[in-house]
Amino acid sequence: MNMTAKILSTFFGAGYTPIAPGTFTSLLIVLLYRFYLVRLDWPIYLALLLIIFFLGVYVSTRFARELNKEDPRIIVIDEVLGQMIPLFLMKPDWLLLAAAFVLFRFFDIIKPFPVNKAEHFPQGWGIMMDDLVAGLYTGIIINIFLLLK
């Protein structure tokens, strides 16, 4: 078993949480953002998103193949990316962070169009793409709210 793919795709073991590993990982990302990631300059944060996306495609493909499953629940690097997207440049206000968390989980679980179509990409691309689109939906809604506020 490729230990690196296992560690990264499960976000250092967060995917092994017995109940709602995706939700648990999203919550971890919100907390990481609030206390650390918010301090990153935007080009660094954006580069981190790109690295997580491409690394996520690679490691989730490898680990899913080893498990012989299409999209195993323990792979949560996709939630890392998806939750980080709407947090990009967000003020670390608890209400906004909670809204980003709830909306992202809603879109990731319900999978409205085109989130449901994005998960049909092959291998790690599908694992990562549905969460990417769910994160974009969340970011768009929060930013529309902030513009209208």
Cβ 11 vs Cβ 81: under 8 Å: no
Name which of 16-25, 30-39, 115-124 the model is least confident about.
115-124
Q: Which domain holds residue 29?
A: 3-148
What are the pLDDT digits (tens) for 33-88? 999 999 999 999 999 999 999 999 999 999 999 988 888 899 999 999 999 999 99
* 137 phi-psi bin (left φ>0, alpha ψ -120 to 50, beta other): alpha
Q: Which helix (H) or strand (E) holds 63?
A: helix 42-67
Query: Which pLDDT does position 119 carry in this prediction?
Result: 81
What are the pLDDT digits (tens) for 117-145? 888 898 889 999 999 999 999 999 999 99
Nearest CA to 17 out of 98, 76, 65 is that of 76
Q: How many domains does the chain contain in total?
A: 1
Rounded to two decimals, the pTM is: 0.94
One-letter amino acid of 19: I
